[in-house]
Structure 1
Amino acid sequence: MVALATAESDEQLLSRAVADLVARTRFPVAFGGLQHGGAIHVSSIVGARTRSIDGLVVQSERGLGGRALVEKRPRMAVDYRRARSITHDYDRAILGEGISTLFAVPVMVSGEARGVIYCGSWSEAPVGDVVARPALGVAAELATELRVREEVSRRVSRLPSSGDGLVSRAREELRETYAELRSIAATVQDDLLRERLEHLERKLAALTRDDAVDASLSSDIHLTPRETDVLACAALGATNSEIGADLRLKEATVKSYLASAMAKLDASTRHAAVMKARRAGILP
């Protein structure tokens, strides 16, 4: 069975997101957990002054995070101690840390809340756009990474293999996943997240390469990221309008990128360009 070697775990992705919360919202303490069995298991904490949050398990509908989990939307308590809209099952943990203002954001993956990330302060601090926007951004980026990682892992885990490498059907499914991954990365604004997605792309592309790759072509041909995006979609038989919709580009722009890629590959048709890009190891 093929596997994505050294892929980050969900917990590692969560830990990075929690660290990003502190850096980007400037709230002093942040923590978060993924959902298992209807409960949030807090596994990452940054900036805490005590150990009161350690090992916290938040049940759905309970507390601020439990409400965010079931309602699938952010929840805020400016004065947590006196908040009337939530249960106070976890006061020992939250108030024990001295948190006054708490903001909880669900991590939504394919319409389901996969976890909750929190940021808080030890004094009352209304959560305006300056805090809410980056916190929502961190949650969205984490959701994107989880969704991409799960989809790639799901597809790769189902792939059969034979003595001659991946069978034809499996290879085509990997190519489809590669194109989808590039289309997602192309719409991401955060540079670090895009780099991590591109790292996954390279691993995925390597799974389908074989001895047919021509090293001399690899060194001579240099496509831009956008040219590669367009060609990867074209390799699946997508039309220019379909490619434009996937990559959020105008159809005329797609034609321009495709023409440029074909010129660099010295190919007269998109099919020939795809074949040459595969021989060069640019596409899986």
Structure 2
Amino acid sequence: MNAFEQVASEADLVAQAVRELVRRTRFPVAFGGLLSRGEVAVTTIVGNRTASLEGLRVQPQRGLGGRAMTELRPRMTQDYGSSQQITHDYDGFVLGEGLRTLLAIPVVVAGRPRGVLYAGGWEAAPARGVAAAPALQIADALAAELRIREEVERRLHAADAPVLPIGLSAAQREELRQSYAELRSIAALVGDPAVRERIGEVERRILALSSPPPATTARATHLSPRERDVLACAALGQTNAQIAAQLGLRESTVKAYLGTAMSKLDAPTRHAAVARARRDGLIP
């Protein structure tokens, strides 16, 4: 995936969030964008009557959205034109559309602003709490997706680092195993098939680097993706409860997956299952 495709994918996420704002709040207008090169370029506008909001670019600390990004919390005004709590750098855009009420919600990832979503109306706003609650949920969902994508990209880039031909130390092998387990848990949360495929490719490379050649057997063992997930976590010494928390499963479900994996691998214990899965190149 090249840089343009990544930007386009993030723009699609913003567009979905903006549409959700109109659907789930009582505001008729919504717009937003992500922070890039020191400013937010609004990439999606829904419900507008004019073209006034087109081309809007918001800088931190400027306007209602800039204040929301700086303070990392939502800001709202019920009379935008007369508000003395914000700068009015963007009056031409907002008042040009005729908006009176405006809610700005920052998209916060790892404690830093990544963008801002707006919901507005031409008349008086609905009750503040009624409007803000679903808007916050939408912004949080967008932030969670962006956080997952950033972690995936970080690990994809880390996996591109060359491995010395002298082999892996015990510490390097353990780091690969931890990375593999985390990638498996991240992949379960990613909805984008292209991103999941990239994660899968990195997982296969990790297996090739960290596992010995599979043992020759009369019949290759096949584990389901979830069985590999729980075994990869078990290989790190995690309990069923810890595995369930990491993978978003019930503890009883984790126990069931471990049981079927042990049965397929003809292993009497989870430790034996991990050892045999490693021997067969199924996990690192």
TM category (shorter chain) comes to 0.7 to 0.9
| Partner SS, residue 85 of structure 1 | coil
Other structure's SS at 1:141 match:
helix
Q: Secondary structure at the match of 2:179?
A: helix
- Amino acid of the residue matched to residue 146 of structure 2? L
Shift of 1:66: 1.1
Residues 22 and 30 of structure 2 are in contact (CA less than 8 Å); yes or no, is this contact kept in structure 1?
no
| 1:86 alignment partner in structure 2 | 86
1:148 and 1:100, CA in 2 relative to 1: closer, same or farther beyond 3 A?
A: same
CA distance in 2, matches of 1:269, 1:50: 67
Mapped contact 2:104–2:118 kept (Cα < 8 A): yes
| Alpha-carbon offset, residue 73 of structure 1 | 0.9
Equivalent residues in 2 for 1:146-157 (5 A)? 146-157=146-157
Query: Identity of aligned pairs, percent?
Result: 47
Residue of structure 2 equivalent to 1:41: 40
Q: Is contact 1:42-1:54 (8 Å) kept?
A: no
| CA-CA distance at 1:137 after TM superposition | 2.6
RMSD: 3.9
Q: Residues 84 and 18 from structure 1, CA distance in 2 versus in 1: closer, same or farther, beyond 3 angstroms?
A: farther
Q: Is the 8 A contact 1:230 1:258 kept in 2?
A: yes
1:58 equivalent in alignment to 2:55: no
Q: What TM-score comes out, normalization by structure 2 length?
A: 0.73
Alignment of 1:252-271 (within 5 A): 254-271=254-271
* Superposed displacement of residue 178, structure 1: 4.1
Report what 1:141 is aligned to. Answer: 141
- 1:62-81 counterparts in 2 under 5 A? 62-81=62-81
Is 1:179 aligned to residue 181 of structure 2?
A: yes
Tell me the SS of whatever aligns to 1:96.
Answer: coil
Q: Cα distance, 1:195 vs. partner?
A: 7.0
Amino acid at match of 2:41: V
Is the 2:61–2:69 contact (alpha carbons within 8 Å) kept by the matching residues of 1? yes
Report which of the two structures shows the higher radius of gyration computed on alpha carbons: 2
Residues 98 and 170 (structure 1 numbering): CA distance in 2 closer, same or farther, change over 3 Å?
farther
How far, CA to CA, are the matches of 2:223 and 2:59 in structure 1? 54
Partner of 2:236: 236
Task: State whether structure 2 residue 27 is matched by structure 1 residue 30.
Answer: no
Local SS of the residue matching 1:52: coil
Is the counterpart of residue 104 in structure 1 residue 104 in structure 2?
A: yes
- Contact 1:18–1:44 at 8 Å: present in 2 too? yes
Deviations along 1:87-129, one digit per CA (max 9) or x if unpaired, are 2221111111222322211111111122212222333332556
Does the CA-based 8 Å contact 1:40-1:116 persist in structure 2?
no
How far did residue 153 of structure 1 move?
2.1
Q: Distance in 2 between matches of 1:49 and 1:282?
A: 57
Equivalent residue number for residue 161 of structure 1: 162
Quote how far apart the aligned CAs of 1:40 are: 3.1
Pick closer, same or farther for the CA change 1:243–1:115 going to 2, 3 Å: same
Matched, 1:120 2:126: no
Matches of 2:56 and 2:172 in 1, distance apart?
A: 42
Q: Could you tell me which amino acid in structure 1 is paired with residue 10 of structure 2?
A: L
Residue 200 of structure 2 aligns to which amino acid in structure 1? R
| Equivalent pairs, count | 272
Query: Does the CA-based 8 Å contact 2:68-2:106 persist in structure 1?
Result: yes
CA distance in 2, matches of 1:11, 1:88: 30
State TM-score, norm by structure 1.
0.73
Paired residue type of 1:135: A
